Amino acid sequence: MPDVSDMDLLWNYDRQGSEETFAELVRRHINLVYSAALRHVGIAAHAEEITQAVFVILAQKAASLRPDTILDAWLYETTRLTSLSFLRGERRRQLREQEAYMQSIFQESHDAPVWNQLAPLLDEAMSRLGKKDREAVLLRFFKDKSLNEVAVALKTTEAAAQSRVHRAVQKLQKFFIKRGIDSTTAAITGAISANSVQAAPVALAKSVTAVVIAKGTAVSCSTLTLIKGALKIMAWTKTQSAIVACAVVLLAAGTTTTVVVKEVQNREDAKWDTGVVNTSLLDKAPHIVKIIPTRFPDPSRGSAWAGSGTRMLGVKAQVPDIIQAAYNIRQTRMILSAPFLEARYDFIANQPPHSVAALEQLIEKQFGVVARTETIQTNILFLRVKQPNAAGLKQARNRNGTSTADGLGDYHLTGGTMNNVADYAENVLGIPVINQTGLKGRFDIDLKWDQKDWQNPNANNLKQAITDQLGLELVPGTAPVDFLIVEKAK
């Protein structure tokens, strides 16, 4: 059956229940499923159980999969979710053994030093890619498909497939670099190609096929529990993805008002956990001010909020985040005298021209806190010129200032001011920074600094990069600074 597509085989199995047809599907994909499961749990016996569960789920879902489904990608994602279900049930005790296990099992590979670093993080990195990017990487490097075969599967041109693969690999490289693995894209793809898929035990394919043909009656109680747990996670993930892709639901007084925040057109373009929200949707929203418990409980998703003029909206924000948005102040200049629970909220303030005042009043009413401004003499950093006319300070071509920040070593500023640079340094260093450069123009900046000291309050590498690349310096000192004091209402 080498010329029959995966989906044709699956449809034939669904209609006829043919053992031979399903056995061919198992033969094609069992190594991918088993290898991904093994990376997650680190123990062969558990990986075999997960593999069995994944193919039982495939048999159950045979009739409902879309015709354009790329089965390699579907099975890979289902394996990840099934493994998560398993690890939750096992209280994640296998994770402590995973790295040592991977080091021993691949120690004979010439790519072992790179692979041993990548393996514990690979599947998490893959889960961060968008659907199309993940499919492209799986086909190209996990399944060793040619670019032409990748293009056919993705229904695109070979050039477009090559570009997608290239961009996806760069995203993987960036993920690994942030976690201290500084490898080239060639080393990463070489290690994945050589090691990501290994042969499953010979008897496993036969036992998986037998279990599926028996409609799951031969599986153990633990495997049945695993299948049920995985199906719940799959259903929950599908629901969450639909919510994130389509809407943030906020309740208007007395009635339910849906504010459509089309946050993600395609998951690969998502900036959900980097603080980006599409504020243009405020134009379509009703004129309300509301704070409700978040509809996004997924712990892997970060908060995001933004404003447009006096209007603003946010999702999964903690109370200090909402206060920061309402009072338009950096967290480095907030003093929280009142304790706050770690609960998260979705909020909207879309009642111009009184949105800000209305949100401040709602914060006081809903959380029982008040805010006041107080000037305090405190330690700060002064941003000053050390080496005039440094190469990194380029006069801006476009006076409309925009900036993007990775937060972990990349800061790009287009048409911005020195105040923007001071703000960025303050956000990273966690201490007020005052611009004393005297530079009045607008600049284009591409600042790169070593990510290894991220979350180090001193972050001397950032300071050194600012000096070396921009000719500026951050000088310690003291000065009066306006702070927002937030305390319990009396």
Tell me how far CA of residue 424 lies from CA of 79, 102, 417, 419, 466, in angstroms. Answer: 40, 40, 11, 9, 11
Exposed, middle or buried: residue 418 (CB in 10 Å: 0-12, 13-18, 19+)?
buried
- Sheet containing strand 394-395, strands side by side: 394-395, 443-448, 410-416, 402-405
Whether the Cβ atoms of residue 391 and residue 472 lie closer than 8 Å to each other = no
Cα separation of 268 and 134, whole Å? 9
Lowest mean pLDDT among 112-116, 254-258, 325-329: 254-258
Q: What is the DSSP letter of 279?
A: G
What pLDDT is recorded for position 40? 82
Whether the Cβ atoms of residue 191 and residue 110 lie closer than 8 Å to each other = no
Q: What is the DSSP letter of 296?
A: -
Percent of the chain's residues with pLDDT above 70: 73
What is the rounded average pLDDT of the residues 222-248? 57
Gyration radius from the chain CA atoms: 26
Cα separation of 197 and 278, whole Å? 39
Backbone φ, ψ for residue 217 (5° rounding): -70, -20
Cα separation of 177 and 198, whole Å? 26
What pLDDT is recorded for position 413? 84
What is the rounded average pLDDT of the residues 289-312? 72
Whether the Cβ atoms of residue 152 and residue 382 lie closer than 8 Å to each other = no
* Cβ-proximal residues to 98 (8 Å cutoff; 6+ apart), any chain: 39, 40, 41, 42, 120
What pLDDT is recorded for position 314? 83
Higher pLDDT, 446 or 301: 446
pLDDT-based confidence at residue 292 (cuts at 50, 70, 90)? confident
Higher pLDDT, 355 or 397: 355
The pLDDT tens digits for 32-61 are: 999 998 888 878 888 888 998 899 899 888
Could you report how far apart the first and last alpha carbons of the chain are, in Å? 77
The pLDDT tens digits for 130-185 are: 889 999 999 999 988 999 999 999 999 998 999 999 999 999 998 888 877 888 88
What pLDDT is recorded for position 404? 56
DSSP 4-65: S-HHHHHHHHHHH--HHHHHHHHHHHHHHHHHHHHHHH--HHHHHHHHHHHHHHHHHHTTTS
Residue 369 scores a pLDDT above 90? no
Residue in 201, 202, 198, 204 with CA at minimum distance from that of residue 52: 204
Mean pLDDT of the chain: 77
Whether the Cβ atoms of residue 114 and residue 187 lie closer than 8 Å to each other = yes
Whether the Cβ atoms of residue 454 and residue 408 lie closer than 8 Å to each other = yes
What pLDDT is recorded for position 245? 38
What is the rounded average pLDDT of the residues 432-443? 92
Residue 435 scores a pLDDT above 90? yes
Residue 262 scores a pLDDT above 80? no
